[in-house]
Amino acid sequence: MARTASAMRGQILEAALQLFATCGYRGTSLHDIATVVGCSKASLLYHFTNKEAILTELLAPAGEGLAQLDARLAGLEGDRAVEAAVTGYVDLALRFRREVKVLFQDVTEMTNRPVLAGVAEMADRLVDALAGRSAEPEARVRAHMVLGAVFVTCASDLQVPDEVLRDEMVRGALRTLGHTPR
């Protein structure tokens, strides 16, 4: 039975997302996607002009979800804003976890360059230290949260003096990890 154009597009997107998340965007070819779908590369190109078009379509729903969260948060203040932001963001990240993984593939690729050799192993050791050497899932999750949050915060263009930024990141990370800040 022949697949409808809509079904074929859906299969192409699902296969591409799975391959991008596991092999990376750059590590996945149009031929790879076509093979998983069970179609020719020409058939795939009938539905999508190139690999970038596939990626764009895959990431669009996550972008729309983020815009919707932003709109929901716009009228909230104080604790209501904090709770809605945290739960909304976590829900969004979980809903689009493979898309998030695709986005972070470049970070992994960069750490494999000779100038950054060993970064992945050092990050694993840092997570272990942040977790207090605990194997408990809760401690590991908090440690990964701190690792990501500090990285993103430092990469952001915050208009905050360095000493304030440092103090707040330390206090926030300690709280996240379940320790009383000093």
* pLDDT surpassing 90 at residue 129: no
Average pLDDT over residues 156-180: 86
What are the pLDDT digits (tens) for 104-120? 776 665 566 666 577 77
Give the separation between CA 76 and CA 95, rounded to whole angstroms.
23
> What is the pLDDT at residue 65?
87
The reported pLDDT for the residue numbered 32 is: 98
pTM over 0.75: no
pLDDT greater than 90 at residue 8: yes
Locate 71 and state its tokens. 């709109």
Task: Determine the distance from the C-alpha atom of residue 14 to the mean position of all C-alpha atoms in its chain, rounded to a whole number.
Answer: 17
HEC readout, the chain: CCCCHHHHHHHHHHHHHHHHHHHCCCCCCHHHHHHHHCCCHHHHHHHCCCHHHHHHHHHHHHHHHHHHHHHHHCCCCHHHHHHHHHHHHHHHHHHCHHHHHHHCHHHHHHHCCHHHCCHHHHHHHHHHHHCCCCCCHHHHHHHHHHHHHHHHHHHCCCCCCHHHHHHHHHHHHHHHCCCCCC
* Greatest mean pLDDT range, 3-12, 31-40, 160-169: 31-40
Give the pLDDT band of residue 145 (cuts 50, 70, 90): very high
d(CA 59, CA 1): 30
d(CA 71, CA 90) in angstroms, rounded, equals: 16
What percentage of residues in the chain have a pLDDT greater than 70? 87
Lowest model confidence (mean pLDDT) among 27-36, 88-97, 138-147: 88-97
The domains located in the chain, with CATH, are 5-58 (1.10.10.60), 118-182 (no CATH)
